Structure 1
Amino acid sequence: MSLSELQWPLLQAVEALADAPLTQIADRLREAMSPAMGSSALVIFTEDCTGRPQKKAGDEEIISRVSIAELDTVRGTLPDNGPWFGEAELAGRIRPVLALKHPSSRALLVLTDPRPVDPGNDAGMDLVAYLWRITARRIQEKVADAPPSYLLESRAASAERVRVTAELTDLHSTTLETLLAALRSSSMDNAVARTTVTDLTAKALVGLRTLSDRTTDLVKEPVATAFERLREDLRPLTSFSGIEVEFIKPPLKGRDLPGEVAHAARAIVRGLVLVMMEQNDVSRIRTQWDCDGENLLINVRDDGGGSLAVDAPSIGRLDRRVQALTGRLQIDVMPGWGSDVFVTLPLDPPSQPAGDVEGWNLAARELEVLQHLAAGQRNRTIAVTLGISENTVKFHVRNLFKKLDVGSRTEAIALAHSHGLR
């Protein structure tokens, strides 16, 4: 197979990747790679997407069970450049894999059971690496732009992951602590067995809590770290613009920011700085972050003549990002004194009044299933989380479609989001 034979399909594949939302990018990438490389499943792991660090396509048995800890282990063994063929534990067992790491973002691509279409031709592997570079950069750009759709999806996924992780941690911690108490009881006469099982159980408990902390870290970012990343993002711009940009650091002990809030804050400040730099009479811009425990408070001010157009399309786009997180953007333009922009981003999603969905007449289980749908979960994952069969989930989904008067999961999710279900 030569690249010339793939030329037109390749262009179509690149177009599909460029247009793909993050929720579909794994499926699009797997389809694009199929002329050169088959696989049972494709998994992308990127910590830039704090709300949904895994993007998966393929065999449900694999993608529903693969864990962040497994992917992190694979990533730690990879060289910075070039593909890696080998065996790794994924979804609970050792599998043949092809893995690639993107150097700048450290995003990871894993293909399980890789099957080169033409094993003797390097062009196929070159195509896989090329499409992966495009995809990794696309993810970086999407997260950096932080459009409202990404922020809503990220917030929903973050909240759901924290909730599920907390429930699993409580469940297993209680089980293991009860087991420890029983095994330590003096009424048990096999001292050797008691000591051995106690040690193993204690290690399992530590491991479980470590995984819980790891998952929580992926959806949160210290406010000082988030602000320093903003400075790094703006460093090239400020180095060559001739405009001084001053950064007032937030308190070091401020509350950690949810990932989607940190991403949005950086995107909003970058956008405001660019808009302010377009004015002819600006020589200095000051940006400051603070945190009151419930909100991230952002202030960006220029020393221009107060000519910032508050109704400009660029300001409108920034305001929509703020509104996606139920925040507020206020602009004070002072002729002769500059422009002052204040942004407030809540750190927690708003509570949802129950009355907003009462008209749907949903049973308690149907509402639970809808909430999981709104968080982007598949039927199999919902079944495992709720302790019911996948067929039962499908039954509830069909009932939801009838009661909500929708024809697809996408419509149901959009309707749920419009009523505040995340």
Structure 2
Amino acid sequence: MGEHTELDSPASRQSLLEHARTVAEQADRHAVTLESLLAVLRSTRLDDRAARTLSIDIATTALVGLRMVTDEQRSSMLEPVAGAFARLRSDLRPLERFGDLDVQFIEPPTTGRALPGEVAHSARAIVRSAVLALVYQRDTRRVRIQWDCDGLNLLIGIRDDGAGELTAHDDSLRPIAERVSALDGELQVSSTPGWGSSLDIRLPLDPPAEPDRFVEHVELSGREREVLQLVATGARNSEIALNLGISENTVKFHVSNLLRKAGVSTRTELAALVKH
């Protein structure tokens, strides 16, 4: 009999996931800070004294941001979309001013719906990750970043003028894809060789609705409940028939009734409605 540890509990696993997200967020910010410091120190437009002064300013700002990271991770806070975008621009300003990358910002409407904290933080992290990925592509000289809000979603557009070889399966986009997926969003990547790549991202502002567990609201017979529980395990009709001692035709009849009552068309959708 295996030993049960505290890490097996749902609360512990959730805590580990939250910690992993916080670490990833901090690593992302540090990467931008380091790239900014390198851009300043390599700049031919600054003398040593000016470069040193700006480097200190960047490092100091990063330290202040690090101390505030706990508060920034609180998803209960709301941020005006224009304010969230301004913070993103502030994060990228050193790269914009002193790097080889020309970053263009298309301002979102000031009247847009306020963003939940988690969406605002993830959106900034997504854009920072994308810009860093593009920095490592030598052919990229210009990046355009655009935010918009349709009332239900934050819409992010990122376009570069690089070689146009980026695909959705590129390793550099994996952190972005994971963040988008965690928020139940969508990521589309399109590239034209010689003309650049575009990332179009949709992040819902509201959490996905819980599926209506119809078993709690629709009258089901005892046999239908038995069939439903077995369908939820992935059992085939023949396995259900053997388990319950009924014919496959009877199983098909019950499954058909369950699909109709649930208002779904597939067994997978039906299984998703079962409360575990």
- With the length of structure 2 as denominator, give the TM-score of the two structures: 0.53
Give matches, 1:3-402, under 5 Å: 104-105=64-65, 137=67, 140=69, 158=76, 219-355=77-213
User: Could you tell me whether the CA contact under 8 Å between 1:245 and 1:287 is conserved in 2?
Assistant: yes
Kindly state the Cα deviation for residue 279 of structure 1 after the two structures are TM-superposed: 1.2
Conserved in 2, the CA contact under 8 Å of 1:283 and 1:303?
A: yes
CA 1:103–1:237 in 2, change beyond 3 Å: closer, same or farther? closer
Superposed CA offset, 1:13-66 (max 9, x none): xxxxxxx859689xxxxxxxxxxxxxxxxxxxxxxxxxxxxxxxxxxxxxxxxx
AA partner of residue 64 (structure 2): S
- Amino acid corresponding to residue 147 of structure 2 in structure 1: W
Deviation at 1:143, TM superposition (A): 8.3
User: After TM superposition, what 4+ stretches of structure 1 lie above 4 angstroms from structure 2?
Assistant: 20-25
Structure 1 spans left out of the alignment, 5+ residues: 1-19, 26-101, 106-135, 145-149, 159-218, 359-417
Cα offset, 1:104, TM superposition: 1.7
Partner SS state of residue 354, structure 1: coil
TM-superposed CA distance for 1:283, in Å, is: 1.0
- Retained in 1: the 8 A contact 2:167–2:190? no
TM-aligned CA distance change 1:256 to 1:243, over 3 Å: same
Q: How far did 1:230 drift? A: 0.1
Residues in 2 aligned to 1:273 and 1:143: alpha-carbon distance in whole angstroms? 25
The AA in structure 2 aligned to 1:317 is P
Distance 1:24 1:284 in 2: 34
CA drift of 1:276 comes to: 1.4
Q: How has the CA–CA distance of structure 1 residues 242 and 143 changed in structure 2, closer, same or farther, with 3 Å as cutoff?
A: farther
Change (3 A) 1:24 1:309: closer
Opposite residue 252 of structure 1, the aligned amino acid is: T
**How far apart, CA to CA, are the structure 2 residues paired with 1:271 and 1:336?**
22
1:97 counterpart residue number: none
* Contact 1:279–1:307 under 8 Å retained in 2: no
Cα pair distance change 1:244/1:328, threshold 3 Å: same
Q: Which residue is 1:380 aligned to?
A: none
CA drift at 1:274: 0.9
CA contact (8 A) 1:296 1:344 kept: yes
**What's the CA shift string for 1:356-403, capped at 9, x where partnerless?**
886xxxxxxxxxxxxxxxxxxxxxxxxxxxxxxxxxxxxxxxxxxxxx
TM-score w.r.t. structure 1 length?
A: 0.35
> 1:276–1:308: 8 Å Cα contact kept in structure 2?
no
Paired residues of 1:330 and 1:342 also in contact (CA < 8 A): yes
Q: Return the alpha-carbon distance in structure 2 between the equivalents of residues 311 and 345 of structure 1.
A: 19
Secondary structure of the corresponding residue to residue 201 of structure 2: strand
Q: CA deviation at 1:351?
A: 0.9
Quote how far apart the aligned CAs of 1:308 are: 2.1
Q: Give the root-mean-square deviation of aligned CA atoms.
A: 3.3
Structure 2, unaligned stretches of length 5 or more?
A: 1-14, 21-61, 217-271
**What is the aligned-residue identity percentage?**
50
Q: CA deviation at 1:354?
A: 2.8
How far apart, CA to CA, are the structure 2 residues paired with 1:318 and 1:230?
Answer: 16
**Deviation of residue 317 (structure 1)?**
1.6
- Partner letter of residue 267 of structure 1? A
- Inter-partner Cα distance in structure 2 for 1:277 and 1:231: 16
Which residue of structure 1 lines up, in the alignment, with residue 54 of structure 2?
none
